[in-house]
């Protein structure tokens, strides 16, 4: 029997830390690296091995989950000085879970292959709470052999593990389409509830009705209860979903494909950001409508 796979987590922000803690709870060996010393200290206290560089994480891991912020950071931690490719033994598997452009995700596979490493897309959804208990969803894609090898480990991190394709980039594409719906459904929730306020309806009563009716969505149920209570503490920022919607509309335009709903939602997020709410919770799109 093969010895248990060792996990590396690069980028231990809210999501990465939750993934690492969940893995440690399950008895998995975890090596981490973040550029922020306080994050590294927190991970060490939780039982992770803190490495000096992404290359060292590579050296200490069989499967690495990358959860840094954007494609520039993904590029740096994989291919930069002291990047993963400089330390990971051939046959290692790199799961890129950061939200990145599909075209960039597509380019990662061949570049890792040149170093003898396997690439899996592993975009995630569900937020830190579900990452912490291992019930988040993961949209994975990649070749059969590395997927089969990593699957038992990935299922401990994400009970809702979906193999959406065999191509590098398909996981990123799936995440992009989910983001389209999250952004549209959230904007529409704010549009409906605030129009109701304007018409004299109680938004709390409206929310209860909609949740029991055909207008229900995951986003209205997750975001509107705290937003209607005036709590806009940031779980996911306006500017993050604005960026994600920009990736969608950019990919659609590049394929000459119409996305009128995503375009409209992007406009709402841009306007909310211009009003100065870009760093607030994405439910602050309510404030755009209420200001009209």
Residue 214: how many other CB atoms lie within 10 Å = 5
The angle formed by the CA atoms of residues 154, 156 and 158, to the nearest 5 degrees, is 65
Can residue 144 be called a binding residue for its own copies (CB under 8 A)?
Answer: no
Can residue 129 be called a binding residue for its own copies (CB under 8 A)?
Answer: no
**Least Cβ distance, residue 248 to its own copies (angstroms):** 8
Write out the binding residues for its own copies, residues 236-275 only, by CB under 8 A.
248, 251-252, 255, 257-265, 267-268
- Tokens encoding 223: 């975001």
Segment interacting with its own copies, rule: CB under 8 A, options 9-17, 34-42, 148-156, 204-212 = 204-212
Of the candidates 160, 175, 242, 287, the residue annotated as catalytic is 175
Among 39, 51, 85, 210, binds its own copies (CB under 8 A): 210
Can residue 177 be called a binding residue for its own copies (CB under 8 A)?
Answer: yes
Q: Would residue 175 show up in a list of annotated catalytic residues for this protein?
A: yes
Segment interacting with its own copies, rule: CB under 8 A, options 40-48, 57-65, 81-89, 203-211 = 203-211
Could you give the C-alpha distances from 232 to 61, 201, 247, 284, in angstroms and in order?
38, 22, 24, 6
The angle formed by the CA atoms of residues 61, 101 and 252, to the nearest 5 degrees, is 155
Could you give the C-alpha distances from 151 to 100, 110, 265, in angstroms and in order?
22, 21, 35
The angle formed by the CA atoms of residues 96, 186 and 103, to the nearest 5 degrees, is 30
**Least Cβ distance, residue 260 to its own copies (angstroms):** 4
* Residue whose structure tokens are 């993963």: 84
Say how far apart CA 181 and CA 185 lie, in whole Å.
6
Query: Which residues have CB under 8 Å from 86's CB, separation 6+?
Result: 55, 58
Residues near its own copies (CB under 8 A)? 102, 125-126, 137, 139, 160, 162-165, 167, 170, 173-174, 177-182, 184-185, 187-189, 191-193, 195-196, 198-202, 205-206, 208-210, 212-220, 222, 248, 251-252, 255, 257-265, 267-268, 289, 292
**What are the residue numbers of the active site?**
175
């Amino acid at each position: 029997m093969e010895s248990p796979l060792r996990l590396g987590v690069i980028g231990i922000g809210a999501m990465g830390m939750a993934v690492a803690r969940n893995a440690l709870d399950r008895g998995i060996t975890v090596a981490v690296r973040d550029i922020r010393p306080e994050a590294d200290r927190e991970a060490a206290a939780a039982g992770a091995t803190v490495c000096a560089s992404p290359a060292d994480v590579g050296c200490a891991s069989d499967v690495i989950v990358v959860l840094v912020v954007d494609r520039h950071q993904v590029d740096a931690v994989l291919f930069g000085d002291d990047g993963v490719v400089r330390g990971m033994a051939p046959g290692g598997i790199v799961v890129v879970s950061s939200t990145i452009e599909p075209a960039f995700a597509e380019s990662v596979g061949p570049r890792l292959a040149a170093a003898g490493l396997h690439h899996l897309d592993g975009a995630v959804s569900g937020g830190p709470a579900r990452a912490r208990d291992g019930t988040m969803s993961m949209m994975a894609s990649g070749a059969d052999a590395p997927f089969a090898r990593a699957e038992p480990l990935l299922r401990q991190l994400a009970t809702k593990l979906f193999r959406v394709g065999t191509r590098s980039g398909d996981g990123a594409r799936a995440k992009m389409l989910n983001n389209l719906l999250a952004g549209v459904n959230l904007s529409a929730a704010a549009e409906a509830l605030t129009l109701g306020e304007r018409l004299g309806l109680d938004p709390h009563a409206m929310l209860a009705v909609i949740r029991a009716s055909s207008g229900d969505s995951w986003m209205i149920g997750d975001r509107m209860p705290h937003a209607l209570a005036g709590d806009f503490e940031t779980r996911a920022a306006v500017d993050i979903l604005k960026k994600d919607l920009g990736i969608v509309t950019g990919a659609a335009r590049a394929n000459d494909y119409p996305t009128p709903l995503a375009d409209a939602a992007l406009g709402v997020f841009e306007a909310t950001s211009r009003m100065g709410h870009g760093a607030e919770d994405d439910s602050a799109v309510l404030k755009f409508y209420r200001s009209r």
